[in-house]
Amino acid sequence: MSVREFVVLGTASQVPTRHRNHNGYLLRWDGEGILFDPGEGTQRQMLHAGVAAHDINRICVTHFHGDHSLGLAGVIQRINLDGVPHPVTAHYPASGQKFFDRLRYATAYRETVRLAEEPVAADGTLARAASYVLDARRLSHPVESFGYRLTEPDGRRMVPRLLARHGIKGPDVGRIQREGRLDGITLEEVSEPKPGQRFAFVMDTRLCEGVDALAEGCDMLVIESTFLDEDAALATDHGHLTAGQAGRVARDAGVRHLVLTHFSQRYTDPSAFERQARAAGFEGELTVAADLVRIPLPKRA
Ligand SMILES: [Zn+2]
């Protein structure tokens, strides 16, 4: 049984608070773990959330501000200390290579794990894995920032009623799935389309084309909403979104489950973010992220 869930390690923008750690998120996608934007303290939050260094196969950093990357030093050393048996791949804006180098080699330690550096310099596909394609899109922030998107290829779901009608059972089910036809019966006759799942991670940006492209048709969209709508001018100045803007993006993109995070410490009432995203017309599932919550990806449509 494949597990797809989003584990929230931290939700604070800029500085941690008593209730929120710096950013940090782990997406479990079948057998793989993708760590997004590990801020300071991520290693300890992983412990609290039941995430092990072994769970990490890929690291995606949107940009090199401290709340999205200071945790790299600790997490990379921990991956090596624990002797993670598989290679780990890191994606981050190419323009921040010097920051990545410093964080990777912040202090002395013994390197035991193969960490592949795959910096992102432009929009496009970064990786094709068995169950997803990973893409990056440029965002709009004072330092270069990229959002990430996982797209599962569309597939087909077998329909027991149709299989029965054509008398296909046992090992023949697997055969028609693999080969596309069996004794003159096509796969299409015994199955229905199964749209692939889509997940996007959109962090530190103003509204821009990249935000819409990443969000389009997502089953789950994780998006920053640093500010509330009354501070929209501040948000634009600093290259951030408001809760209402995030809600509108999700509404227009047909998102099924919206996860708001990366909150400024100036606000004390998390429910205000939900109210403003709803007021913008978003009607799907909505989570105002809190540290250490786990959010399953929505069941397939
Ligand atoms: Zn940030």
Given a cut of 90, whether residue 92 has pLDDT beyond it is yes
- Phi and psi, residue 120, nearest 5°: -105, 125
Distance 139 CA to ligand 1 centre (A): 13
Catalytic annotation present for 219: no
d(CA 277, CA 241): 11
Q: Of 55, 67, 135, 229, which one is the catalytic site residue?
A: 67
The model's pTM = 0.93
What count of Cα atoms within 13 Å lies in the side-chain half-sphere of residue 182? 18
Given a cut of 60, whether residue 262 has pLDDT beyond it is yes
Interior angle at CA 114, CA 110 and CA 115, nearest 5: 95
> Whose CA is closest to 140, among 90, 198, 212?
212
> Whose CA is closest to 201, among 126, 283, 108, 276?
126
Distance 173 CA to ligand 1 centre (A): 49
Give the tens place of pLDDT for each residue, 55-64. 999 999 999 9
d(CA 49, CA 77): 19
Residue 62 has what pLDDT? Answer: 98
Distance 140 CA to ligand 1 centre (A): 12
Distance 12 CA to ligand 1 centre (A): 8
Distance 47 CA to ligand 1 centre (A): 22
CB atoms within 10 A of CB 44: 15
Give the tens place of pLDDT for each residue, 134-191. 999 999 999 999 999 999 999 899 999 999 999 999 999 999 988 999 989 999 999 9
